[in-house]
Structure 1
Amino acid sequence: MRLSKPHLTVPQKQRILEFSSWILSVGNGELGTPDIDDPTNTRWVHILDRFCIPDNENGLANLISFIYLHETLQKPTASELQQKAIVCPKNDAVDSINKLVVDMVEGSVITYSSSDSATPHGNDGGESEMLYPAEYLNTLNYPGLPPHLLELKIGIPAILLRNINIAGAYATALE
């Protein structure tokens, strides 16, 4: 991924160049100490403080502001949004970032709620519905599924993913 920002000063450009060289060295396996358990595939890399966003109450907001400029969030265009992303290793981080982005975008929130229900199997006589009431199902938050309450605003950056049945598609192609 490549980030570009207009109107950078010479020191800012130098810092970006330094970071780019450092991240390439990490990717090429030139930096870091091998992991004792898996020395050929894993390395421990110390991230220098100057490459980190401070871990404080404004850390995530600063990251979002760095990636999505204020103008981009207020008047987004498809071409600008296609060049920007925040990659997260965990769903909790995604949820925190999404909430902050929604708060940063002007406009009113539109809340969409899921329609959860337990589907009876066989002759359970409705026991599934008693064991798994909708109130309980609404509290579950699984990877790959949207939350029960999805809050959006007009113009907010969003990625829509669709699950594709690769095995089914492959089998159909062979027929």
Structure 2
Amino acid sequence: MQYRHAFESVDRSLRDIMSDIDKRRAKKPFGGITVVFGRDYRQILPVIPKASRAEMVGSTLTKSKIWEFFQVFLLKQNMRLHAGNTEMENKVIADFSKWQLLVGDGKVENFSPDADTGEMLIKIPDQYVVHTTQNPIESLFEITYPGFLRNMSSHSYLRSRAILTPTNVVVDDINYSILEKIPGTLHTYLSQDSTDDAGDEDNKFRSAFPVEYLNSLNMPCIPKHELKSRLASLSCL
């Protein structure tokens, strides 16, 4: 999502640096150094405030003068998906992988623009959706981690599956649901929310942001105030 001029600046800098070693390197892209780029050039555009789509397309690396020197490798297989445990799972995974690539190529069916935002809405096929009328997190967990209590001590079992979520709130809901299943004593650890030098009791910052509010914040890259864990005994495993 970088503007093409950023890459062109790196190109010129490396040509200048490497030309001190060999003058011929000044004519080679990136000074003759192999540079690997990874992204989806078909749909990920630079973020330019108040710019039209045409302006953003014109600022991509594919419109740069150095693009002619690139060797492009196209993704033909979804490397994030692995083989399942049964023949039926293998078929579902293979079909889902093909469908995802069609989405990236803009060739997927059943999509339409949103009337309010103009964004394209894609309907996920029913066979890839977990349908439930009770607890969606519970249903998703049972499908992803079958036989959890029997296999939760197996490293290979835990490494071979994962649940991806869009927000930290969903992560917490899944974690709490799993904690309820694990036998053992539940321990709660709290972060330090005060200091020895508390300052003036009439501090305006403390009035505007009480400790209870600060402890309730859940933001990326900042540890939560409350951490819960459960240490299961070997007899429970």
> Shorter-chain TM-score category?
0.5 to 0.7
**Which residue, 131, 144, 147 being the options, matches 1:70?**
147
**Which residue, 195, 200, 217 being the options, matches 1:140?**
217
- Give the corresponding residue for 1:163: none
Contact 2:152/2:158, CA 8 A, preserved across alignment: no
Q: Which structure has the greater CA radius of gyration?
A: 2
- Give the corresponding residue for 1:25: 102
- Give the corresponding residue for 1:173: none
One-letter code of the match for 1:104?
Answer: K
Matched, 1:110 2:187: yes
One-letter code of the match for 2:98?
Answer: S
CA deviation vs aligned residue, 1:98-121 (integer Å, no higher than 9, x gap):
111212223222211111237989
- Give the corresponding residue for 1:47: 124
Structure 2 Cα separation of the partners of residues 113 and 50 of structure 1: 42
Q: 1:136 to 1:19 in 2, by over 3 A?
A: closer
**Which residue, 84, 95, 101 being the options, matches 2:161?**
84
Structure 2 Cα separation of the partners of residues 53 and 62 of structure 1: 7
**Given the two structures, how large is their TM-score scaled by the length of structure 2?**
0.50
Which structure would you say has the larger RCO, counting Cα contacts within 8 Å and 6 or more residues apart? 1
Matched, 1:100 2:167: no
Structure 1 Cα separation of the partners of residues 197 and 132 of structure 2: 47
Structure 2 Cα separation of the partners of residues 142 and 128 of structure 1: 23
- Give the corresponding residue for 1:162: none
Query: Post-superposition shift, 1:46?
Result: 0.9
- Count of residues paired in the alignment: 149
One-letter code of the match for 1:106?
Answer: P
The percentage of aligned residue pairs carrying the same residue is: 28
Unaligned segments of structure 2, at least 5 residues: 1-79, 233-237
Runs of 4+ in 1 over 6 A off after TM superposition: 36-39, 118-121
- Give the corresponding residue for 1:2: 81
Give RMSD over aligned pairs. 3.4
Structure 2 Cα separation of the partners of residues 78 and 65 of structure 1: 18
Structure 2 Cα separation of the partners of residues 143 and 3 of structure 1: 28
Moved more, 125-134 or 51-60: 125-134
**Given the two structures, how large is their TM-score scaled by the length of structure 1?**
0.64
Structure 2 Cα separation of the partners of residues 73 and 147 of structure 1: 30
Query: Post-superposition shift, 1:45?
Result: 1.4
